[in-house]
Amino acid sequence: MHIYQQSGQFSGRKNVLRGIILAVALVLLWRLFVLQIADPSYKAFARSNYLRHVTDYPARGLIYDRNGELLVYNEAHYDLMVIPGQVRDIDTLAFCELLGIEVSAFESRLLQARRFSRFRASVFERQISKTTFAAFQEKLFRFPGFFVQPRTLRRYTYPIATHTFGYVGEAGPNVIQNDPYYRSGDYIGISGLERAYEEELRGSKGLRIWMVDVLNRDIGPFQEGRYDTLAIAGKDLYTTLDAQLQIYGEQLMQNKRGSIVAIEPATGEILALVSSPSFDPGLLVGRQRTRNYRMLQNDTLKPLFNRALMAQYPPGSVFKLINTLIALQENVVDASTTYGCSGIYHTSGISVRCRTHPNPVNAISGTQHSCNTYSSIIFQNTINQSRFENIQQAFTNWRDHVVSFGLGQQFGSDLSHELSGLVATSDYYDRLYGPRGWRSQTILSLGIGQGELGVTPMQLANMTAAIANKGHYITPHLVKAVGHKENPSNKNANINEINIDRRHFETIAHAMHLVVEDGTGRFSRIPGIEMAGKTGTVQNPHGENHSVFVAFAPVDDPKIAISVVVENAGYGSVWAAPIASLMIEKYLNREVNRQWFEQRVLDAKFLTTQQ
């Protein structure tokens, strides 16, 4: 009996021991399952210790002018990357001395990298110098977890066309969240052509997987590069800009606030896009970009503001071209209908003053001498036509003509951040005065380009191109070809017809020619070049009036249409017209022979910190 009890106790203990062994085995098996299958972090940690995933960033596409001159290119630089899970036993002080940072900065950045991921690489120090890069390459084995990632920075042949090119910056959280192509530390076009053609310019990233030894040294590609992918360089852009004309325009606008927009009428290609004040595009490249951007943002002269596409002004007297065309199309007048001008026009208690000029005037001489009386009368007669039931119908008809010139709307091509301007609607006046509370006299200022009108310099240049084309315009755009110069980009080349007969445009073009030959713009005649133009002086309630001029040349075969706005410079004939004249001479002759005339413009200064 005693022997049996001892045997039973032994058997029970043996079962307990088996149970313990089995339980331990199950625990170990479960942990192995978790480590190898269920929890990928351990696998990632193991792989991160002998594999390094290096993104192969493609070269961003280059940007050329219309003649094939290189304007924007790339220069190699290097980002110092970190994989926090591999950082161990490093000489922190030596590392910081090599990089030129404080130990506290090292600890802060490493903590930030750990929060992003312990096993994925992130940027520790952006855009290190070539000297620092060389030093790190020699001593990299001393700093496990760190490696250098090649990248490129934008560089510029000339410090021009800043607003047109735009700039490249780090992709923000929203971009990364919404577009799987971008990851933390990637760059993206922020503005200008860099933004409009981001997908074409960026190319496609590649990936290289390297094996590393215990000293963090590359020992060769993983599985002979079987899983590597090649980067595909971005496509080049061939812009419509004429680099030498752009340079010249920016020189002429030094110490002035305003803009120059030049277009090739036959194609809608933008030859020059000048906004002044401007800045060197190189300021928004590299490690100092954030500091420089803040400095430019706080500058009272607002150099970041693209006046060519975003400034909105009443068009002033240049708008008389459109009003005269509308009156001719509506049969309110014909080219020979004349009106006398006493120097002041009175109607229902409203007075409009005019300059002294030959009398009487018609569509041609009224344009030639910029007669306010003529423009006011034909505008009123257009609105007061008896065929319309009410003023709302008449005004809407007039407005439809105006909008057909591209005013009051965005062009929607590759012009970044363009504004639409303003052409008021009849609903606006109904809300302001009541449906029966307004009439042609109420809005008479529209007849001379003032009142509820706002146009951008781009719209003024396009309007002029439409007149040069005798009734249509090609949507203005900045890129001729993508990828290859022989691969034209036609996505922006839309033809827009204006609902006014060609014969009326011929009348206005003739009148604009007389403006330059023996009218308000005669001071800016170009020897050997027939130019058509129109001066404008835009009222400015905050100071000196703005000087405006639009023109195209040659008259019989237009190669260039242009608008010039010089803020706070007074009469259009005095400053804007000479600048346009010089730009046209430079483009058509490739040189300027009127040195005294040119020097007068270069010496002029209208730039103040007042807005």
d(CA 53, CA 225): 12
At residue 218, what are phi and psi to the nearest 5 degrees? Answer: -65, 130
- Spell out where 298-447 has E strands: 344-347, 350-353, 422-423
Residue 46 has pLDDT above 50, yes or no: no
CATH 3.90.1310.10 spans which residues of the chain?
Answer: 52-239
Lowest mean pLDDT among 7-16, 509-518, 520-529: 7-16
Percentage of the chain lying above the pLDDT 90 cut: 64
Residue 308 has pLDDT above 70, yes or no: yes
Residue 201 has pLDDT above 90, yes or no: yes
Collect contacts of 45-51 with beta carbons under 8 A, ≥24 apart.
Answer: 45/85, 45/118, 45/119, 47/119, 48/83, 48/85, 48/86, 48/119, 49/85, 49/86, 50/211, 50/212, 51/209, 51/210, 51/211, 51/212, 51/222
> What pLDDT sits at residue 32?
59
- Model confidence band, residue 41 (pLDDT cutoffs 50, 70, 90): very low
d(CA 24, CA 26): 5
Helix/strand/coil for 118: coil
pLDDT tens for 206-246 read 888 877 766 556 677 777 677 778 889 999 999 999 999 99
Mean pLDDT computed over 266-280: 96
Nearest to 362 by CA among 329, 388, 333: 333
Q: Which two tokens mark 304?
A: 């970041």
Domain 52-239: give its CATH superfamily. Answer: Penicillin-binding protein 2a (Domain 2) (3.90.1310.10)
- Model confidence band, residue 611 (pLDDT cutoffs 50, 70, 90): very low
Sign of CA dihedral 516, 562, 565, 400: positive
Fold of 243-285+305-603: Beta-lactamase (3.40.710)
d(CA 577, CA 520): 10
- Model confidence band, residue 54 (pLDDT cutoffs 50, 70, 90): confident
CATH 3.40.710.10 spans which residues of the chain?
Answer: 243-285+305-603
Mean pLDDT computed over 2-21: 62
**DSSP collapsed to 3 states, 235-290:** CCEEECCCHHHHHHHHHHCCCCCEEEEEEECCCCEEEEEEEECCCCHHHHCCCCHH
Burial of 248 (0-12, 13-18, 19+ CB in 10 A): buried
Residue 375 has pLDDT above 70, yes or no: yes
Sign of CA dihedral 13, 18, 22, 28: positive
> What pLDDT sits at residue 487?
74
Burial of 381 (0-12, 13-18, 19+ CB in 10 A): middle
Residue 426 has pLDDT above 70, yes or no: yes
Burial of 300 (0-12, 13-18, 19+ CB in 10 A): exposed
d(CA 176, CA 158): 32
Lowest mean pLDDT among 127-136, 176-185, 422-431, 478-487: 127-136
Mean pLDDT computed over 428-455: 95
pLDDT tens for 144-185 read 888 888 888 899 999 999 999 999 988 888 999 899 999 887
pLDDT tens for 469-503 read 999 999 999 999 999 887 777 666 789 999 999 99
Lowest mean pLDDT among 48-57, 386-395, 408-417: 48-57
> What pLDDT sits at residue 214?
60
Sign of CA dihedral 89, 93, 94, 96: positive
- Model confidence band, residue 593 (pLDDT cutoffs 50, 70, 90): very high
Interacting residues of 606 by C-beta distance below 8 A, sequence separation 6+: 255, 256, 257, 566, 567, 568, 569, 575
Interacting residues of 31 by C-beta distance below 8 A, sequence separation 6+: none
Residue 365 has pLDDT above 90, yes or no: yes
